[in-house]
Amino acid sequence: MGRSSECAYYRAMESPIYFSGQFLLATPGMADPRFARSIVALCSHDEHGALGINIGQTSDDISFHGILDQFDIPAEGSADKEVYVGGPVEAHRGFVLHSLDFNQSETLQ
């Protein structure tokens, strides 16, 4: 590494850059199959970690009505929707993207 590269590297380490609200695009050479050909929308990215959803990759295992059934919530009047794959670290955990007219204490804006 040249001297200017080293300085830039250490400055970046002193004040990390976070990417909440941005999209990460996998490069064509991405070797990790969990992220290959993916576009990840980063909902949260800070010193505590990252939370994102893989846009364009839907689950073959569950639908929106399937999730409602698991929580004993009636699906009547709601259209069944595809569920997008997030993760890959915690595949059994999820979150819901919704409009700003619904706001709870857990809501990230």
E strand spans, 64-109: 82-86
26, 38 Cβ separation under 8 angstroms: yes
Domain boundaries, the chain: 18-86
- For residue 86, name the pLDDT band (cuts at 50, 70, 90): low
On whether the CB atoms of residues 84 and 53 are closer than 8 A, the answer is: yes
- What is the structure's pLDDT at 3? 57
CATH architecture of 18-86: 3-Layer(aba) Sandwich (3.40)
Band of pLDDT at residue 10, cut at 50, 70 and 90 = low
Task: Output the pTM of the full model.
Answer: 0.54
